[in-house]
């Protein structure tokens, strides 16, 4: 239960980080919060020969409200983003989901961008980025930065579009349109564990409070977060007259989960339908309350 040996690099700024990563290529791994990476190193499931520690790169420790959303830097800890009222005002789903990520002590050290790059299909933040159509900004020494939309970023279980030599410098979570609500519902065997099933939902209403758009991203039911558009099934009705049982069935029909020791495939399918329906109903209620426009926590 000790990591194998590696060359340790502690760059001081972004330029130096990218140079070191370019030199290390496929043998390099970035260390930010380490709350997913260090367990893998301790168990020797990963054994990179170069570890590039970005904890001293202060320019990456940012939470910035920009036009159209909030940009979270690679060194922003889960706890800092969870506490940020500015981030919660722009994108309330971020705080709701972060409260489901592991335990408070882990969130003191873990980072939002790290959770995205780790790309665990059971994790909350990849589902949040997916349902919001967010993006991840990647940097490489000597080339311009590139923004990869969530739909292309997650490529498989624990696999992303991040290439060797690249650093994920930030993630962008778009803000919500008017009359839009969000929710995250999940079931885990113990609070803080990876969820057996769960769904992040975004619902937008039209001026007559009928559902104009309803989307969910489901966790733990595929190699990447599974994005489903349920607007058609909601049939442009107000939330009170939507056939919610049909919505749950539509979710269950469109997913193909695997079973494991925690839940059979059938149970996971059932649970995902129930949780997606629940998240959509809460999101629709929040949209009707216009919580998104007036959200303020403290």
| Total interface residues for another protein by CB under 8 A | 31
**Contact between 105 and another protein per CB under 8 A:** yes
**Contact between 12 and another protein per CB under 8 A:** no
One residue of 10, 65, 246, 274 binding another protein per CB under 8 A: 10
Judged by beta carbon, residue 38 or residue 209, the one nearer another protein is 38
**x/- letters, 193..222, toward another protein (CB under 8 A):** ------------------------------
Pairing between strand 50-53 and 69-73? Answer: unpaired
**Contact between 11 and another protein per CB under 8 A:** no
Residues 249-288 that bind another protein (CB under 8 A): none
One residue of 53, 61, 133, 290 binding another protein per CB under 8 A: 53
CB atoms within 10 A of CB 65: 15
Residues of 137-147 as b/e, b for ≥16 C-beta within 10 angstroms? bbbbbeeeeee
**x/- letters, 64..103, toward another protein (CB under 8 A):** ---------------x----------------------xx
**Contact between 7 and another protein per CB under 8 A:** yes
Name the H helices within 136-186. 150-153
**How far apart, in Å, are the Cα atoms of 182 and each of 27, 95, 147, 253, 282?**
40, 11, 24, 23, 7
Ramachandran angles phi, psi of 66, nearest 5°: -115, 175
**x/- letters, 158..197, toward another protein (CB under 8 A):** --------------------------------xxx-----
**Contact between 293 and another protein per CB under 8 A:** no
Residues 18-47 that bind another protein (CB under 8 A): 31, 34-35, 38-39, 41-43
Quote the tokens at residue 67. Answer: 């036009």
For the CA atoms of 117, 123, 124, 126, the dihedral, rounded to the nearest 10 degrees, stands at 30
**Contact between 8 and another protein per CB under 8 A:** yes
User: Terminus-to-terminus CA distance in the chain, angstroms?
Assistant: 43
Stretch that binds another protein, among 48-56, 68-76, 219-227, 242-250 (CB under 8 A): 48-56
Instruction: Count H helices and E strands in the chain, helices first.
Output: 13, 14
Q: Residue 114 CB, nearest distance to another protein (Å)?
A: 12
For the CA atoms of 149, 155, 158, 161, the dihedral, rounded to the nearest 10 degrees, stands at -60
Judged by beta carbon, residue 41 or residue 176, the one nearer another protein is 41
Q: Residue 109 CB, nearest distance to another protein (Å)?
A: 5
Contacts for 143 with CB less than 8 Å, ≥ 6 apart: none
To 5 degrees, how large is the angle CA 257–CA 261–CA 262?
Answer: 70
Judged by beta carbon, residue 78 or residue 89, the one nearer another protein is 78
How far, in Å, CA of 100 to CA of 145, rounded?
31
Q: Where do contacts with another protein occur on this chain (CB under 8 A)? A: 1-8, 10, 31, 34-35, 38-39, 41-43, 51, 53, 55, 79, 102-106, 108-109, 190-192
């Amino acid at each position: 239960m000790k990591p194998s040996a590696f060359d340790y690099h502690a760059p001081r700024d972004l330029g130096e980080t990218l140079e070191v990563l370019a030199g290390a290529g496929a043998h390099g791994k970035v260390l930010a919060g380490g709350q997913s990476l260090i367990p893998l190193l301790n168990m020797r499931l990963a054994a990179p020969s170069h570890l590039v520690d970005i904890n001293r790169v202060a320019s990456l420790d940012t939470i910035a409200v920009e036009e159209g959303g909030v940009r979270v830097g690679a060194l922003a800890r889960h706890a800092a983003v969870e506490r940020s009222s500015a981030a919660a005002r722009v994108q309330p789903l971020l705080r709701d989901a972060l409260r489901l990520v592991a335990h408070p002590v882990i969130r003191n050290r873990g980072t939002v961008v790290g959770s995205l790059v780790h790309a665990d299909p059971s994790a909350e933040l990849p589902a949040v980025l997916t349902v919001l159509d967010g993006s991840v900004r990647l940097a490489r020494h000597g080339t311009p930065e590139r923004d990869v939309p969530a739909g292309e970023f997650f490529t498989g279980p624990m696999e992303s579009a991040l290439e060797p030599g690249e650093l994920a410098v930030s993630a962008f979570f778009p803000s919500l349109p008017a009359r839009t609500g969000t929710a995250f519902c999940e079931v885990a065997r113990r609070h803080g564990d990876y969820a057996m099933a769960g769904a992040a939902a975004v619902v937008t209403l039209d001026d007559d409070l009928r559902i104009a758009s309803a989307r969910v991203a489901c966790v733990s039911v595929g190699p990447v977060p599974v994005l489903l558009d349920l607007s058609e099934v909601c049939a442009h009705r107000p939330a009170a007259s939507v056939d919610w049982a049909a919505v749950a069935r539509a979710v269950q029909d469109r997913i193909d989960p695997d079973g494991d020791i925690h839940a059979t495939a059938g149970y996971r399918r059932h649970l995902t339908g129930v949780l997606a329906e629940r998240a959509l109903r809460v999101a629709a209620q929040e949209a009707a309350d216009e919580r998104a426009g007036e959200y303020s926590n403290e």
